[in-house]
Amino acid sequence: MMNSNEIKEMERSILDRFLRYVRIDTQSNHHNPEKPTTPGQWNLLKMLKKELHEIGLKDIDLDQNGYLIARIPSTLPAGRKAPVIGFMAHVDTAADMSGKNVNPQIIEHYDGNDIPLGGEWVLSSDTNPELLKYQGQTLITTDGTTLLGADDKAGAAEIMAAAEYLFHHPEIEHGEIELIFTPDEETGTGMDLFPVSKLHARCCYTMDGGERGTVDAECFNAAKVVITFTGVMYHLGSARGRMVNAVTMAGAFLSLLPQAESPEATDGRYGYYCPLEITGSAESAQLTLYLRDFEIEEIDRRRKVVESIAAVLENIYQGGKISVDFKMQYLNMREYIRKDPLVMEKLEEAAANIGIIVSNEIIRGGTDGARLCAMGIPTPNIFTGGHNYHSRYEWAALPVMTEAARLIGELIVLWGKEDE
């Protein structure tokens, strides 16, 4: 649908926007219960709001919790209505690496060699062979002192550039489109206050993935288990036969977890137990355990294992008590997305229209899309062209960012042909 001049123009728009967005420090902070968790996120949200206004959109809403929702009205002839679809990106960056004074480096006509970032840091094509796919093209890297913030400002720039193009081409027929920007994705609590009742969308796409062509429509099922060990304390000099040590019980519990089912021993579709935090004393100790698996039956099985280890240890440590508190955190989004097969069919067709074959990946973690799925809106995740997230080695391929924005446009056109 776009000619080569329009594609060039879109690429320029994406690059400008991206460079502007990454310079704003939007690192989130999972220790702060306020929403958003850091004031820098407001700066980017307000910038996006202003830019949406400049594009010409009228329906723009930034609420008190930092959720920005804007709408592009339908261009369909009177009497026709297509399903509403949405596109979403998060404005924060991860706490793993500083996002302050990001100084992006633009590498034009990349020559295939190692890229010096600054100081002692080098982005090597040996350890990053994907770089070699972009010889002759434009890459964006860090200067070695911060992360880049392609996660997820690449997604934000792509959505904004696609919205700008579409709004200025009212001859392109499409239904109503929702653009959604959220804070605090990296803290895992970014969707807690999401005003889902405001959305009209039948489905959404998060623009928050990585390498060209990759799409995520599956993530872990996740549960958190807090195990409390209660001991029986006596003076250590006269403890024989009657003291029960909660620390010892917790240690015994940990030693019984299968080592082969840990994050460090699994990949692909294998799930795990992960002891994440332990606190306490001989009187009382608490262990936090994460259970993760793509199949819900395997979460149930591991829950039973945890409960039976607790029961056995209570028998061994007579007088000690062990309580198990189990909570589901999120579910595999596959089940929600499968209920509306058009969501993935349209995505594959739109990608094919711009010469991309979609490859389905699985996320060994969660996403905001998974949270939105659980709220009733199927939401797979699409590549943005970024790599090596949360690190000084983060980089993005500009041509792929442009393809991601074109994919947004294609999706909008294809959904516009459906009847609501």
Please confirm, yes or no, whether 92 is among the known catalytic residues.
yes
DSSP state of 292: E
Residue 350 Cβ vs Zn ion, minimum distance, rounded to whole Å: 21
Non-local CB neighbours of 325 within 8 Å, separated by 6+ positions:
225, 226, 227, 228
Q: Does 403 bind Zn ion (CB under 5 A)?
A: no
320 versus 366: smaller Cβ distance to Zn ion:
366
Site for Zn ion in 79-138 (CB under 5 A): none
In whole angstroms, give the CA distance from residue 245 to residue 35.
Answer: 41
Beta strand 284-293 pairing with 272-280 = antiparallel
Angle at 388 between CA 385 and CA 390, to 5 degrees: 110
Residue 197 Cβ vs Zn ion, minimum distance, rounded to whole Å: 24
Q: Does 184 bind Zn ion (CB under 5 A)?
A: no
Size of the site for Zn ion (CB under 5 A): 3
Core vs surface per residue 390-415: b (16+ CB within 10 A) or e? bbbbbbbbbbbbbbbbbbbbbbbbbb
Residue 43 Cβ vs Zn ion, minimum distance, rounded to whole Å: 18
Q: Which residue in the set 25, 151, 178, 261 belongs to the binding site for Zn ion (CB under 5 A)?
A: 151
Site for Zn ion in 152-171 (CB under 5 A): 152
Determine contact, residues 47/197, Cβ cutoff 8 Å: no
94 versus 203: smaller Cβ distance to Zn ion:
94
Six-digit token string for 120:
């002692």
Six-digit token string for 237:
């000099």
Q: Which residue in the set 11, 208, 218, 410 belongs to the binding site for Zn ion (CB under 5 A)?
A: 208
Annotated catalytic residue, options 25, 164, 184, 185: 185
In whole angstroms, give the CA distance from residue 93 to residue 28.
Answer: 6
Annotated catalytic residue, options 51, 92, 298, 410: 92
24 versus 299: smaller Cβ distance to Zn ion:
24
Six-digit token string for 109:
């006509």
152 versus 158: smaller Cβ distance to Zn ion:
152
Residue 364 Cβ vs Zn ion, minimum distance, rounded to whole Å: 14
Non-local CB neighbours of 234 within 8 Å, separated by 6+ positions:
242, 243
Please confirm, yes or no, whether 283 is among the known catalytic residues.
no
186 versus 261: smaller Cβ distance to Zn ion:
186
Question: Which residues are annotated as catalytic?
Answer: 92, 185
* Chain contacts with Zn ion (rule: CB under 5 A): 151-152, 208
